[in-house]
């Protein structure tokens, strides 16, 4: 995970730099992916062999963890969540990309195979449990140490 730094633009750049000879896979979270979602247009227009596997918990994960620790479990976490109607596979379709929606772990590998076989840039929306994510994320000031020393 790249926490908003790089992500989709770097994946597009890697594919272009490689001359589109090899497939590229981006594994990211939904909030980081949405920072640069407009780059799907670039990837689709250039017909890049790029598959984006997006873990979707419908939240700004880092921020949600900060809210929970600061204001307590069950706080409103105002502004850190979005509607579960958000479907990144459908957004991908709108850009002319291949979109897949996955809810079960065992469906991820087949979705990746179909995505590469589509011959288009693809987005696989992988629904994950929002309650299982972001509980242990550190506050901003501690994040750099946590990320470099490993999550515990």
Query: Taking the CA of residue 63 as centre, how many other CA atoms within 13 Å lie in the half-sphere pointing to its CB?
Result: 14
Angle value at C-alpha 105, between 104 and 109, nearest 5 degrees: 115
Q: At what angle do helices 61-71 and 140-149 cross, to 10 degrees?
A: 120
Residue 1 confidence (pLDDT): 47
Q: With contact defined as beta carbons under 8 Å apart, do 58 and 30 qualify?
A: yes
pTM of the complete model: 0.81
- Residues in contact with 12: Cβ distance below 8 Å, sequence separation at least 6, in sequence order: 39, 42, 43, 46, 48, 50
Name the burial class of residue 79, with classes exposed (0-12), middle (13-18) and buried (19+) by CB atoms within 10 angstroms of its CB.
Answer: exposed
Residue 32 confidence (pLDDT): 87
Q: Which of 31, 24, 34 is nearest to 92 (CA)?
A: 34
Residue 95 confidence (pLDDT): 97
Q: With contact defined as beta carbons under 8 Å apart, do 35 and 105 qualify?
A: no
Residue whose entry in the numeric block shows the structure tokens 């999550």: 151
Domain coordinates in residue numbering, the chain: 8-149
The CATH architecture to which 8-149 belongs is 3-Layer(aba) Sandwich (3.40)
pLDDT tens over the chain, length 152 residues = 455 567 899 999 999 999 999 999 999 989 889 989 999 999 999 999 999 999 998 887 767 777 777 777 666 666 677 778 899 999 999 999 999 999 999 999 999 999 999 999 999 999 998 776 655 666 656 656 655 666 54
Interatomic CA distance for residues 122 and 40, integer angstroms: 9
């Amino acid at each position: 995970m790249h926490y908003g730094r790089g992500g989709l633009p770097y994946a597009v750049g890697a594919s272009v730099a490689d001359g589109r000879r090899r497939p590229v896979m981006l594994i990211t979270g939904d909030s980081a992916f949405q920072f640069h979602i407009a780059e799907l247009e670039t990837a689709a227009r250039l017909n890049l062999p790029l598959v984006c596997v997006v873990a979707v918990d419908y939240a700004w994960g880092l921020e949600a963890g900060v809210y929970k620790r600061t204001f307590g479990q069950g706080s409103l976490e105002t502004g850190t969540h979005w509607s579960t109607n958000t479907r990144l596979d459908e957004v991908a379709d709108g850009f002319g990309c291949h979109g897949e929606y996955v809810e079960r772990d065992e469906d991820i590998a087949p979705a990746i195979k179909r995505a590469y076989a589509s011959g288009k840039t693809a987005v696989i929306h992988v629904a994950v449990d929002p309650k299982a994510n972001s509980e242990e994320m550190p506050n901003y000031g501690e994040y750099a140490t946590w990320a470099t020393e490993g999550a515990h």
